[in-house]
Structure 1
Amino acid sequence: MEQPTSNTQVDRNLAPHSRDWAWRFWPLVPIYPYGKRRTLRTEIVKDRIWTFDQVQGILYVVVPIRMTVIKLEAGGLLVYAPIAPTTECLRLLQELVDEYGDVKYIILPTISGLEHKVFVGPFARQFPQAQVFVAPGQWSFPLNLPLTWLGFPWKRTQVLPADSSQSPFGQEFDYAILGPIDLGPGKFAEVAFFHRRSRSLLVTDSVISIPEDPPAIVQLDPYPLLFHARDDGFDLVQDDPATRRKGWQRIALFACFFRPSALEPVEFGQSVRDAWKASDRSRKAYFGWFPFRWKADWQRSFNTLRGGGRLLVAPILQTLILNRAPQETLAWAKQVASWPFERVIPCHLDASVAADSHQFRQAFSFLELSSNTPNLPEADFQLLWEIDAFLNKTRLVPPAKEKV
């Protein structure tokens, strides 16, 4: 198995508010880091596969969002799940273009991920010769608008064929389409790509792996890590590797469960009174507002969630999305697991996970009645179950189906 090669590009001489990081369309999806986005490029397979990482988040719960670029055998590049085309991002990509040829194909592998969809139009305009392929079943909210109205180039945007062999890159890639899964006002779908030559599987949101230490892109601005490393609003923390790791692991719990069981909410009025006494009342820290406390056993919750870095389906997808179509999801997972991949490259959290088809298939065992795989602690799912119950009660989404 080919190992990732370290080739992360970081220009530490750039000013903190460099124009190279600017993303002027941030109001379309107004989440952290808003109008400035750093980009890191890492070579995963030498002279063949690269990842481009940026960050995104809410309330300093920041996680990587990732674009993967693959060199085509005939020359040129395929881009899976574009990120914000900042000057820095385009410069790093241009270095590959200069060496390996133009961007030929741009893939949008999801229909519900606005954080992925919003970048495709601006990205495609930077590469006017590239063909754009999108997952079938695209939609928008509150109005279901044509793709051209959403900024996609109409003359060169097309839906991925159901049969991957009918695509112009079918000689190098297989792909499998999950969905669209009906979610009432919206839908969910994902397209997994298998690059045969490198034995690499590219996925968007379906599976993740949680690293023990914060990813490099998250560490470029450590403030979110330090913010969440605090046990409460009065805690003072030092910027060191252990503190950053602590903050990252708590961020992972937040990102996966919204409200993990190791988190103790503080009553709103009390949290406001505490904010007046907090040591850090800067604008960056929400004027000292810190509406929760961490319980002493939070580390155990993280270790259980991480499971040694295994592949897992994010609890949000388990509870609110994929359980609406268990049979369809398992059939898709079986199809993907038929490919002989050796690494998985998700769009979030860990970048290149050494995993095979069995480990991928095992991640979806939560949909099976006969599964012997240990479940995540039920207490951590409490908020997600409450959301699911509300959606069912109001009939906003179809109910979950029985396990297979």
Structure 2
Amino acid sequence: MPPGDLSWRFWPAVPLYPYGRRRTLRKEVVKDTIWTFDQVQGILYAVVPIRMTVVRLDKGGLLVYAPVAPTKECIRLVQELVDKHGEVKYIILPTASGLEHKVFVGPFARRFPYSQVFVTPNQWSFPVNLPLSWLGFPTKRTHVIPENSADAPFADEFDYEVLSINLGRGSFEEIALLHKRSRTLLVTDSVLVVPEDPPAIAQVDPYPLLFHARESGLEVVEDTEAMRRKGWQRISLFAIYFRPSALEKVGMGEALRNALKAPERSRKAYFGFFPFKWNPDWKRSFDALRGGGRLFVAPILQTFIFNQTPRKVLEWANKVARWNFERIIPCHFDAPIKASPSEFRQAFAFLEKNPPQLFGSGSQPLPKKDCEFLSELEENLTKRGITSPPKE
């Protein structure tokens, strides 16, 4: 494939790996109806999928939920669906703050000039609050999604509920979108499932998986299925907890000495610098995180966002759980997920404690020791006035 087909030239706006070169994998989830488009992104090779979902409309045309980087490869894969099913009619930006989703929407929409863009209310961005027009959103075709889903132009095929939480310095927003006919629920960040094996998109370039499968910078690992799985499971712990309990500190002196002796000291390998060390019990932490493939809310949302207004979140979850769906497609980690409305609602059970018992989901709580870093971070940020204490 020509390198230009993978190019994403606006990567400096959100400088996440793999920067300006992104592969896209398309997967048919419901025959001739729903497709997912996966790319990867992350920091320090802790890469996880970021996902766009495309739905065929009964009256012709397509709806796009949470666009990814519109590389030539990605657009070609979408265009194949356009040629068969009709133009992209609607593009949904289902979040308000995340530049990692928002930065793709404007350039994507401009490739499909007949599309209408719908965004959540209270748009903002961090670390720089940029107006949507600066991100390339087409001004005349961009609209705030109606408060009542019955007023949307796609109401005959979709229902939706918008979760909006005022955080003081911005707002957390998420659109849960139901495709009625296929009984498919689309969400952004609210719930997820961590797969045991690395997703297909993460295996297109296995270097990040093998990088994290090592025990130290002095080790060279063989590219095997077992090593890829090991690397993925450690990446998942990084991505979910930021600093899981199974990760031990490596002194700067030791890390530098090892870097000088590392067998690979290229720029790609961070010049041999590998400041990670896992204790022998790390796999138990992953198994507890995965919980046999259960649906859960990420600890960072439990700690910083959803505990702000638990009643509002539970009201939103209750409304979504009244819908009739059989699968969920989130924007990250595993998809599609076979799940019922009751399983979706159970993921928010941690909010029903008084005071809320964080980090848990029903009968399978996440280990508090793995969440200690997030708890300490939240406490420090609140003391400094950067974040707010729970309002309820």
TM-score in same-fold range (> 0.5): yes
Instruction: Quote the offset at 1:143 in angstroms.
Output: 6.0
- Equivalent residue, structure 1, for 2:121: 136
- Equivalent residue, structure 2, for 1:189: 173
Is the 8 Å Cα contact of residues 6 and 21 (structure 2) preserved in structure 1?
Answer: yes
Report the Cα distance in structure 2 between the residues aligned to 1:372 and 1:221, rounded to whole angstroms: 36
Residue in structure 2 matching 1:393, options 383, 388, 391: 383
Q: Does 1:231 align with 2:221?
A: no
SS of the equivalent of 1:65 reads strand
Instruction: Quote the offset at 1:187 in angstroms.
Output: 1.8
Is the 8 Å Cα contact of residues 366 and 373 (structure 1) preserved in structure 2?
Answer: no
Q: Which sits farther off after the overlay, 371-380 or 116-125? A: 371-380
Instruction: Quote the offset at 1:298 in angstroms.
Output: 0.7
Q: Does 1:111 align with 2:96?
A: yes
The 5-angstrom pairing of residues 58-69 of structure 1 reads: 58-69=43-54
Instruction: Quote the offset at 1:141 in angstroms.
Output: 4.4
SS of the equivalent of 1:283 reads coil
Instruction: Quote the offset at 1:391 in angstroms.
Output: 1.2
Could you report, residue by residue, the CA deviation over 1:95-153 in whole angstroms, capped at 9, with x for unpaired residues? 00000000000000000111100001000100111000001111134664542233211
- Equivalent residue, structure 2, for 1:340: 324
Instruction: Quote the offset at 1:401 in angstroms.
Output: 4.5
Instruction: Quote the offset at 1:284 in angstroms.
Output: 0.8
- Equivalent residue, structure 2, for 1:5: none
Q: Does 1:55 align with 2:45?
A: no
Residue in structure 2 matching 1:270, options 254, 257, 261: 254
Instruction: Quote the offset at 1:330 in angstroms.
Output: 0.7
Look up the equivalent residue of 1:151 and give its one-letter code. G
Is the 8 Å Cα contact of residues 344 and 355 (structure 1) preserved in structure 2?
Answer: yes
Q: Does 1:82 align with 2:67?
A: yes
Look up the equivalent residue of 1:387 and give its one-letter code. L
**Paired positions, count:** 386
Q: Does 1:125 align with 2:110?
A: yes
Residue in structure 1 matching 2:235, options 251, 256, 260: 251
Report the Cα distance in structure 2 between the residues aligned to 1:397 and 1:352, rounded to whole angstroms: 33
Is the 8 Å Cα contact of residues 184 and 396 (structure 1) preserved in structure 2?
Answer: no
- Equivalent residue, structure 2, for 1:296: 280
The 5-angstrom pairing of residues 138-177 of structure 1 reads: 138-141=123-126, 144-177=129-162
Report the Cα distance in structure 1 between the residues aligned to 2:68 and 2:362, rounded to whole angstroms: 38
Report the Cα distance in structure 2 between the residues aligned to 1:191 and 1:68, rounded to whole angstroms: 13
* Structure 1 residues 142 and 273: alpha-carbon distance in aligned structure 2, compared to 1, 3 A threshold: closer
Instruction: Quote the offset at 1:182 in angstroms.
Output: 2.3
The 5-angstrom pairing of residues 177-216 of structure 1 reads: 177-179=162-164, 181-216=165-200
* Structure 1 residues 253 and 144: alpha-carbon distance in aligned structure 2, compared to 1, 3 A threshold: closer
- Equivalent residue, structure 2, for 1:6: none
Instruction: Quote the offset at 1:165 in angstroms.
Output: 0.7
Residue in structure 2 matching 1:315, options 290, 299, 304: 299
Instruction: Quote the offset at 1:397 in angstroms.
Output: 1.6
Report the Cα distance in structure 2 between the residues aligned to 1:249 and 1:268, rounded to whole angstroms: 25
* Structure 1 residues 141 and 241: alpha-carbon distance in aligned structure 2, compared to 1, 3 A threshold: closer
Taking structure 2 as the reference length, the TM-score comes to 0.96
Is the 8 Å Cα contact of residues 226 and 244 (structure 1) preserved in structure 2?
Answer: yes
Report the Cα distance in structure 1 between the residues aligned to 2:48 and 2:109, rounded to whole angstroms: 24
Q: Which sits farther off after the overlay, 216-225 or 317-326? A: 317-326
Look up the equivalent residue of 1:353 and give its one-letter code. I
Instruction: Quote the offset at 1:294 in angstroms.
Output: 0.7
Report the Cα distance in structure 1 between the residues aligned to 2:128 and 2:22, rounded to whole angstroms: 29
Q: Which sits farther off after the overlay, 184-193 or 92-101? A: 184-193
Q: Which sits farther off after the overlay, 145-154 or 322-331? A: 145-154
Q: Which sits farther off after the overlay, 98-107 or 132-141? A: 132-141
Report the Cα distance in structure 1 between the residues aligned to 2:80 and 2:304, rounded to whole angstroms: 41
- Equivalent residue, structure 2, for 1:31: 16
Report the Cα distance in structure 2 between the residues aligned to 1:140 and 1:218, rounded to whole angstroms: 27
SS of the equivalent of 1:284 reads coil
Instruction: Quote the offset at 1:183 in angstroms.
Output: 2.4
Look up the equivalent residue of 2:235 and give its one-letter code. I
Is the 8 Å Cα contact of residues 195 and 293 (structure 2) preserved in structure 1?
Answer: yes
Q: Does 1:374 align with 2:376?
A: no
- Equivalent residue, structure 1, for 2:6: 21
Report the Cα distance in structure 1 between the residues aligned to 2:198 and 2:364, rounded to whole angstroms: 26
Report the Cα distance in structure 1 between the residues aligned to 2:387 and 2:330, rounded to whole angstroms: 27
Instruction: Quote the offset at 1:389 in angstroms.
Output: 0.8
Could you report, residue by residue, the CA deviation over 1:66-122 in whole angstroms, capped at 9, with x for unpaired residues? 000000000000000000100000000000000000000000000011110000100
Report the Cα distance in structure 2 between the residues aligned to 1:87 and 1:325, rounded to whole angstroms: 42
Instruction: Quote the offset at 1:400 in angstroms.
Output: 2.3
* Structure 1 residues 142 and 256: alpha-carbon distance in aligned structure 2, compared to 1, 3 A threshold: closer
Is the 8 Å Cα contact of residues 16 and 41 (structure 2) preserved in structure 1?
Answer: yes
Look up the equivalent residue of 1:272 and give its one-letter code. L
Instruction: Quote the offset at 1:395 in angstroms.
Output: 1.2
Is the 8 Å Cα contact of residues 182 and 398 (structure 1) preserved in structure 2?
Answer: no
Q: Does 1:353 align with 2:343?
A: no
Instruction: Quote the offset at 1:185 in angstroms.
Output: 2.3
Is the 8 Å Cα contact of residues 186 and 330 (structure 2) preserved in structure 1?
Answer: yes
* RMSD over aligned Cα atoms: 1.3
Gap runs ≥5 in structure 2: 355-360
Look up the equivalent residue of 1:154 and give its one-letter code. T
Is the 8 Å Cα contact of residues 99 and 126 (structure 2) preserved in structure 1?
Answer: no
Is the 8 Å Cα contact of residues 365 and 373 (structure 1) preserved in structure 2?
Answer: no
Taking structure 1 as the reference length, the TM-score comes to 0.93
